[in-house]
């Protein structure tokens, strides 16, 4: 029996590479559902190639275009976020790959967990915003959460076979992004074109900007806390420009396990699909004779304040990470519209953290209210 997979965000970088994995292993996997936010043209192309049971476009204005383009195929076509939240509950689905960007991934992930689907988690914001809630639901419904982010997949792989062995710390590696050597003065004038040129990874615009500002690494710290049950002080970030070591785990005896490979997201995607098995992949192999050297540096939280803000949010807990995520989404969107400077994003996030009501033990409706309030505050802060 082929595993039936729903891909939420199939037109993005992760979703597109997941389809490559499925295509390479067509004897093992089958696409049950594809969803996209706006890119209806690519969604149509994917649907015609993979012939899923259902296709959903979040932007309801593009429903007619999608429906008409697929009218000759036996594919169910829907539109809107409610449809995405419903399709993940479909009985045949076994794995839901959550590759949507930002807060939008939270509700569909909750629905999929309640429906007992295995979650291949690429949407880190789900755990950033509501990690406690997601963990409670996953335990209640006995639903596995399989990390797809390269760093968390690396930690997950390092922990395989280590049940009961105490973790001393988790080391998350960071490429450092395109501005690793820039001074604060230089960072004040960087453009979105420069920020969108990541040295190692091919990602969507929002994640690429987050990587350049190191907010992406901040979110990964919060995600690691929830995924692996560690305290904030047990998570260390190390800049590793070559992106060969994807992350490490240090155990209480001082031993360190690292997961290595060339920077290719198809590897962690495939591992999430095949776990606990490892299956053949055609991705390029790491050749150590071509590695000039592997280097490591301390991250600079003065120049890259977002990393410090994310750590503070993780330390405070409650709804503070939700506030940071919402403010960051508003700030990044403004930066991509040339309405704010690169360093100005941190200013907006910090001021929003100070103004939005703090909730120590939030439940679901608190996260929804916090996200809405934080976005409004951040939007107002853009004008200051």
Do residues 10 and 52 lie in contact, with contact meaning Cβ atoms separated by under 8 Å? no
Which domains does the chain possess?
3-147 (3.40.50.720), 152-214+235-298 (no CATH)
Length of the chain as a residue count: 384
What's the mean pLDDT when you consider all of the chain? 95
Instruction: Kindly tell me the burial class for residue 66, based on how many C-beta atoms sit within 10 Å of its own C-beta (0-12, 13-18, 19 or more).
Output: buried
pLDDT in tens, 189-205: 999 999 998 766 667 78
Question: Mean pLDDT across the stretch 144-150?
Answer: 96
Do the beta carbons of residue 98 and residue 119 sit within 8 Å? yes
- Report the C-alpha gap between 254 and 37 in whole angstroms: 45
Model confidence pLDDT, tens digit, residues 281-334: 999 999 999 888 999 999 999 999 999 999 999 999 999 999 999 999 999 999
How far is the CA of 164 from the CAs of 139, 159, 160, 167, 232, in angstroms? 18, 10, 11, 9, 20
- In the chain, DSSP finds a helix count (H) and a strand count (E) of 16, 11
- Angle (deg, nearest 10), helices 13-24 and 266-274: 60
| pLDDT above 70 for 71 | yes
pTM score: 0.93
Q: Which of 337, 308, 324, 313 is nearest to 371 (CA)?
A: 324
Which of 104, 59, 42, 349 is CA-nearest to residue 210? 349
Distances (CA, A) of 91 to 88, 109, 146: 9, 15, 20
Q: SS3 of 76, please?
A: strand
| pLDDT tens string 243-275 | 999 999 999 999 999 999 999 999 999 999 999
Neighbours of 110 (CB within 10 A): 18
pLDDT average, residue stretch 203-228: 92
Q: Are 309 and 328 in contact (CB under 8 A)?
A: no
Instruction: Give whole-number Cα distances, 229 to 35, 181, 225, 253, 360, in Å.
Output: 31, 33, 5, 19, 19
Q: What is the dihedral of CA 217, 218, 219, 223, to 10 degrees?
A: 90
């Amino acid at each position: 029996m082929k595993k039936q997979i729903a891909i939420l965000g199939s037109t993005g970088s992760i979703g597109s590479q997941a389809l490559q994995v499925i295509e390479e292993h067509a004897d093992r996997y089958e696409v049950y559902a594809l969803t996209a936010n706006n890119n209806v043209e690519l969604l149509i192309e994917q649907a015609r190639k993979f012939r899923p049971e259902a296709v959903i476009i979040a932007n309801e204005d593009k429903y007619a275009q999608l429906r008409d383009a697929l009218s000759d195929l036996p594919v169910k076509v829907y539109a809107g976020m409610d449809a995405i939240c419903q399709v993940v509950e479909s009985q045949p689905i076994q794995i839901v790959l959550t590759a949507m960007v930002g807060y939008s991934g939270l509700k569909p992930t909750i629905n999929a967990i309640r429906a007992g689907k295995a979650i291949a988690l690429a949407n880190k914001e789900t755990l950033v915003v509501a990690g406690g809630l997601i963990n409670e639901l996953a335990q209640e419904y006995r639903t596995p959460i399989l990390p797809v982010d390269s760093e968390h997949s690396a930690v997950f792989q390092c922990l395989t076979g280590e049940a009961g062995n105490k973790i001393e710390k988790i080391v998350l590696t960071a490429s450092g992004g395109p501005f690793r050597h820039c001074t604060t003065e230089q960072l004040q004038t960087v453009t979105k074109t420069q920020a969108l040129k990541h040295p190692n990874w091919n990602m969507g615009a929002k994640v690429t900007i987050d990587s350049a500002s190191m907010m992406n690494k901040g979110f990964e710290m919060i995600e690691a806390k929830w995924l692996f049950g560690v305290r904030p002080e047990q998570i260390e970030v190390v800049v590793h420009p070559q992106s060969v070591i994807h992350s490490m785990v240090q155990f209480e005896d001082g031993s360190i396990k690292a997961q290595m490979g060339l920077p290719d997201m198809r590897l962690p995607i495939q591992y999430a699909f095949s776990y606990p098995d490892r299956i053949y992949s055609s991705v390029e192999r790491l050749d150590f004779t071509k590695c000039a050297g592997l280097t490591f540096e301390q991250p600079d939280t003065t120049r890259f304040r977002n990393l410090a803000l994310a750590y503070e949010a993780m330390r405070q807990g409650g709804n503070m990470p939700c506030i940071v995520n919402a403010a960051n989404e508003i700030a990044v969107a403004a930066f991509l519209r040339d309405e704010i400077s690169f360093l100005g994003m941190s200013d907006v996030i910090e001021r929003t953290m100070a103004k939005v009501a703090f909730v120590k033990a939030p439940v679901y409706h608190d996260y929804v209210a916090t996200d809405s309030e934080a976005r409004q505050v951040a939007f107002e802060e853009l004008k200051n």
